[in-house]
Chain A
């Protein structure tokens, strides 16, 4: 039996990217990969959008014609966004585990690259959700936005906050057995501060009153994002690695 001996294929063809650039390109690669797979299968975005649109219609069906107070409208808007997130964001990790692609990712990427890439993906999913749902909600509910700049800032920060908590929760739940209901159950305590702040701030943006000022809401939301993302960066590898 002869062993065919070939010269090791050109080491010159593979070079490694240095430090930060390599790290960022890994994160972007994960984001692009998730986006590409999602665009081709359309599984989680359709679940998320379907849920959001149907619940928006259901809510405004009974309440919209009467012109609701800003407190109710802001609460309902964020409840719709929150539950849509619960419907769709767990797929980022659960799907990898169920289709046995998770070991591939563990072998080929640093844990934090995976976390940041999937955080970015979940954030973009929520932004897409916002773009579709919010105008629909505003039209159907007939609510006025007296401070549009604040409103958009809250949507962005709030979506980031929701995706930060949900991404970590999704990673935790991907190792568990009863994934669906458990995801919403463990996300709730983690996301409640963000939800409360987003609702309060949106209430102000819609012209209502709240105990905290708008600036406080934004600061606290940003602080929340900082805490959750930093903690996740430190703790993610314990959830991801075996």
Chain B
């Protein structure tokens, strides 16, 4: 096989010191969530709040990832370069992962704190809609064989779903009768400062992890495309 090209070494995708830092930092956050952070006051199940340290950053990165995939979708439609489409799809798949994680951690928290895994709370509704949009996006992508058509059509779908986000976040939740206002996480102000530190740490760690995996996955797509081009030339 020969030596790896310079830009394929993992150090080009993320510098080695940073890789080590990310690994240690996330490990530290996990340890802190269980050992450093005290049980939360003002929660029915005092231990349940620990999962918020992971849940909130996941949800935020999920939304960020979707926004980034939509921006790249717009860039693809304007410029037509496949790199933008690759980044859009890569960010979308990461976003899907983080959305799933946010949903599961949210359901665990809800079960521990309020006894029911699903409550039709506004935020739960929004995150569910985001999951459904992602699922439909990938179903669409998977079913179009021509690569140019796939890129264009999934970008259009991405943008249209993105335009409807205000409906998912503000309108849809309000249509559901019988909201439980106490479920919304305003109680975060009742959390001790250790929670803030841990939350910030998780946010930083996940953000860097997102960037790292995104760059890796784009590089892998580039490779797949290069290999296909070589087989065409033959």
Binding site for B on A (CB under 8 A): 168, 172-173, 175-178, 182, 185-186, 188-190, 192-193, 196-197, 199-200, 209-212, 220, 224, 227-228, 231-232, 235, 238-239, 242
Contacts and interface: CB of A to CB of B under 8 A. Distances in A.
Contacts of B156: 168, 172, 235, 238-239
A192 B129 contact: yes
A190 B161 contact: yes
A197 B157 contact: no
B27 interface: no
A242 B159 contact: no
A235 B143 contact: no
Contacts, number: 92
A190 B171 CA distance: 14
B160 A228 contact: yes
11 contacts: A175-B146, A176-B153, A185-B139, A186-B136, A190-B160, A193-B172, A209-B177, A211-B174, A227-B163, A228-B160, A231-B159
B77 interface: yes
Which of B135, B153, B176 gathers the greatest number of chain A CB atoms within 10 Å?
B153
Contacts of B139: 182, 185-186
B149 to A, nearest CB: 5
B140 A193 contact: no
Nearest to A236: B156
B191 to A, nearest CB: 30
A224 B175 CA distance: 15
A177 B143 contact: yes
Q: Which 5 A-B pairs have the closest CB atoms?
A: A193-B167, A176-B143, A186-B136, A196-B175, A189-B133
B17 to A, nearest CB: 41
Interface residues on B, range: 20 to 34
Contact of B175 (A168, A189, A211): A211
Nearest to A178: B143
Interface in B144-170: 144-146, 148-149, 152-153, 155-157, 159-161, 163-164, 167-168
B132 interface: yes
B172 A196 contact: yes
B177 A210 contact: yes
A189 B153 contact: no
Contacts of B148: 242
A197 B171 contact: yes
A220 B172 CA distance: 11
A10 to B, nearest CB: 41
A36 B174 CA distance: 42
B178 to A, nearest CB: 9
A198 to B, nearest CB: 10
A134 B59 CA distance: 41
B160 A238 contact: no
Nearest to B177: A211
A215 B51 CA distance: 41
A110 B77 CA distance: 19
A177 B145 contact: yes
Contacts of A211: 174-177
Given A176-B143, A186-B136, 19 more contacts: A172-B153, A175-B149, A182-B139, A182-B140, A185-B136, A185-B139, A186-B157, A189-B129, A189-B136, A189-B164, A196-B171, A197-B171, A199-B175, A210-B177, A224-B164, A227-B163, A227-B164, A232-B160, A242-B148
